Structure formats: C-alpha cells, structure tokens
Structure 1
C-alpha cells in the first residue's frame, strides 16, 4: 500500500474530557472488546452496551458476565442507534462485518476497530463505511487467553493505543475515540497505517511467529524422543512461548494481512540468526558476546522507558 495515500493524520489533543456515548455496540466480543466493555461500564463511558457475535454461546457468556446489556447475532441490529461501534473480529473478517452492520448504522456513528493490522483493515472496510467516521485503532495490550471469559478490567492501563485514521477523517471523531482510550488508561499515539504495520511486525508479529514456531519445534522433538522434552521446560521457555497460546484464528489473519512487513522482519531475523550460526560454528566468542551484550543493552533501555516494562499477564 502506498504510504502517501493516507497523508498526514489529524491532530489529537493530549487531554480531554472522557466521552460518554449513548449506545456503544461491540461487534465481536473477545478479550479486547470484552475488556473495553468492562471498563466502559465501570467508568460510565456508555449508557447502553450492546454486543454482537456469530456464536450463541459467546453472546450468552457476554450477557452472563455483564459485559453488555443486549446481545444479538445480527450485526445490523446491534449497531442500530449506536453512536459508537467497535469492531473486534479477526482482521480477515472486518470487511464482512462492516458489510453486515452497514444497513443499521446511523449516518453520524463513529466506527473504530481494535485489530493489530491497520492498512489492510482500511482496505477491507472502505467499500462499506463512511471513512470520515472510521477511526482505526490498535490497543497494544492483550494476553494469551481469548473469548468473553478472558475480559478483565484495567487491561489498557499504561498501554499504547495507536490510531491510524485517514487524512480525510473527521477530526472530532478522531478526538472522541482518542478520549475513549485515554479514559481507560491508554497512552494515545497517531500514526500512518503502513508505518504502524511495519512497527508492529517488528515488536509483536515477529515475536508471536517465533513463539509459535519454537513450541512446534519442541513438540516435534518431544514426539521423536517419546515425551522426554517438554517436561523439562523451565521459566525461559515458558516465558518466551507463553504468547503461543494466543487465538490461532486471530494470528492467522495477522500474518496473512500484514504479509509484506512480516516477511521483511523475518528476513532481517534470518540474517541475524545466520550471523549467530556462523559465530557459533567458528567458535567466535567475541562476536557472540558483542551480539548478546547489544541485545541486553537494547532490552534494558526499552524496559527502563515509561510504560516499557510489560504488566503481568500481557505480552
């Protein structure tokens, strides 16, 4: 996608009063949308909360947990009369979800999403939505659990939420979405969609890919050695691979719809891995030490930044 197609993003104020929406509709009710609904109820950010999902079990759980006041499998019915709609479905399903809910949307409704890929989402929803009222968002928070039962309060506290609206987006709509995320504790940043996808490919998508692959590799060795591998997995393996327990449908869509950026990052990673392999093969102690020391310094510098150290239970 051409980065220049989006142009500069609208400005957003650093502070502002928390918005109150009359009717907030959540299309898809998993960890992120469910947690946002919890915080919205706790903070009084919406007077009425409505949920929509394809599975009856999901809707029943959302109602039983008090995440929403109403629940329906009909997306158009869920968004009818809503002044805020939050898309919380896998990236590949965003276009179909937007198409399904479009007949019920108010002309002045603000629509946002919570997916971790942004450029492709803009492409998928644009045939169905008024893009001036669509504010793509990505709360950089989560856990390896999924579904309504995974929803928790304060998930977004001290976390980044990146918004990637198009240049023609309504500034007031952008500000209201930004204020919503600030109200639940997030630090809001505006970014070009393509830039977002490259940044997140490096710090989120690549680590998840490595974790999935590490677990599968250990599983293959486990099978070959008849159960004498994974029982010895200690803290390092468990910490590194915890995110491999994440929703496979969501991550399948992330990799398929952020293909170029992910392949660029895997290429960079492969080059660095090859350099490490050469150093190990040749017994180059100094080269190994320098690379490990560099990684430690980068990691410590990142953890020392405000908000840099991850909260317990989040990747």
Structure 2
C-alpha cells in the first residue's frame, strides 16, 4: 500500500506533502522540506487563518497555500496535522474522506492516547495513520517561529496503533530522519507518562510560578521583574508558550499529568521538611541529582 514511497534517499520520499497548521512545528517541517529535496517534490500548506496563509505565501514556504483542508489533502501522499492537540481529531475526521488511498496520515501532537482515541472512529483501512511527537520547539509560535534545523538531534517519538501498516511506520521514520531527528517507537500510554514528567509538568510549574510572582504585593512584584535574571528568567521562557496549545495538552493528558504533579508535590513536601529540620544530607542529595541529570543531558546533546 505504501510501496510507492521511495525510502532509498535518491528521489523524494513523497510526491506531495501537505501540512495542516503551519505554526512553529508545521512551518519548520516546510522549511526543512524546502531545503532538503529528498523529502517531497511538492509542498502544500493549509491554515484556517487568512493572516497565517498570507504569511506562509510571503515566506515562500509552500508551492500551494490552501484555505480548504479538503483541497489541501486531495492529492497529498502524506498529510501532517500540526494543529493544537484539541483540534487534531476534528480536522482529521474532516479530511480523512478526501485523502487518496495509500496516502499516510500523521500528526505531531504532544498527547497520544487522547488523539488516538478521538481519531480512531474516523480512520480508513486504506489510509495508514502514524501518530508522532517531535520533541522540539521554542516558546514562540506561528509561521515566523519555525526554522529548518529545529529537529536536528531532537527525538521524534512514534506511537503507531497495533494494526498500523509497518511499511507506513517505516516511511514516517524515514521522514523524521531526513528532518534531522532521532526516532523511537513506543506505546501511546507510555509516551503520555514520559511526556507528563519531561514536558507537561515543567510547563505547569513554569506557568504556576509566574502566576505566583504576579500575585505578589506590588512592590515585590516590580522587583521580580527587575531582578528576574537570577533563575526566574528560565521559567518565564517556558511560560511564554502558546496558551491554547498548552490548555489542550493539560486537559488531554489529565491522568498522567495529575499523577506526576502528585508525585512532585510529595517530593516538594519532603524537600520542605528537610529544609525545616536542617537535613543537609537530603538537601545535598537532591541538588546532586539535579546536577547529574544536567550533565547527562549535555552528554546526550539534549541541552
């Protein structure tokens, strides 16, 4: 079914690649594909917003810019949904009937069980669906935020369904390798737990600490803004992220996120107890573990 995709590296992987939602991730995919001739011969971008469409055309990110998703996907060999998590299933359900047999549907959402559960009723046996999550990004959003090297050395996690055509999974792995990413295949539930701790909880903490600072008395609050370079700044970078996207992620990964938050809360209480009672060994152990993790990230080229 996916035999017409060339994974040898000589000619493009896809004749036509369609990106629905050319924001940070979508526009980075388009930029990379523009730069690398082995990804797709033709690029189509689609967005509901006239301003986004105009900007994508201005930046020359695609060969065709469409307002209508059905037109955008009609001749595509691969469609990548890059819309917020809460909209993936709705957009997927709308475009699936218009896709051609053998074309691959994929998406880049940060929560997997919710997306798979919502889109499954609309899937077609002749259109393989390969959910993915490129773990890359910045705090900026929109088509101007993307860049061709965004995925270099970053992980892209694939969470195929048990009955997903292995050939299609292999094609999408090849796509992400050509994007510069490393890939790993994992179960959707496991993915959601991993992302709850490495991505979703840190964002929740960043939004919350900024809220706490914002609620302080006026004179303290102005000092927070004056002296932020001492660590608060790193939280504000994460907290600058897109609100709609993160609202959707929190609500769609509710169970795993609340579980990790509960564990974190217990650990924070343990740290509070150690500080209260002067348990120096406990405090030093926690700090050492943080340093060790940072070193590992640097060695793994993920920092």
TM-score interval (norm. to shorter):
over 0.9
CA distance in 2, matches of 1:226, 1:140: 33
Which one of the candidate residues 28, 32, 43 is aligned to 2:25? Answer: 32
CA distance in 2, matches of 1:223, 1:145: 28
- 1:60–1:103 distance in 2 versus 1, CA, 3 Å: same
Structure 1 equivalent of residue 82 of structure 2:
88
Structure 1 equivalent of residue 36 of structure 2:
43
1:17 aligns with 2:9: yes
Aligned pairs for 1:289-304 (under 5 A) are 289-304=284-299
**For residues 224-270 of structure 1, what are the alpha-carbon distances to aligned partners after superposition, in whole Å with 9 as ceiling and x for unaligned?**
64623211111422123311111111111111000111011101100
Q: CA shift at 1:20, angstroms?
A: 2.2
**For residues 105-143 of structure 1, what are the alpha-carbon distances to aligned partners after superposition, in whole Å with 9 as ceiling and x for unaligned?**
112110110111111111111122226600000011000
Structure 2 equivalent of residue 98 of structure 1:
92
**For residues 29-79 of structure 1, what are the alpha-carbon distances to aligned partners after superposition, in whole Å with 9 as ceiling and x for unaligned?**
100011001101110111111111111001111111111121222111110
Which one of the candidate residues 117, 130, 141 is aligned to 1:123? Answer: 117
Structure 1 equivalent of residue 4 of structure 2:
none
Q: Is the contact between residue 118 and residue 193 of structure 1 (CA under 8 Å) also seen in structure 2?
A: yes
> Greater shift after overlay, 215-224 or 277-286?
215-224
Q: CA shift at 1:222, angstroms?
A: 5.6
Q: How many residues align?
A: 294
Q: Which runs of 5 or more residues in structure 1 are unaligned?
A: 1-14, 310-315
Q: Is the contact between residue 44 and residue 63 of structure 2 (CA under 8 Å) also seen in structure 1?
A: yes
- 1:145–1:222 distance in 2 versus 1, CA, 3 Å: farther
SS of the equivalent of 1:136 reads strand
CA distance in 2, matches of 1:218, 1:61: 36
Q: Which structure is richer in relative contact order (CA contacts within 8 A, separation 6 or more)?
A: 1
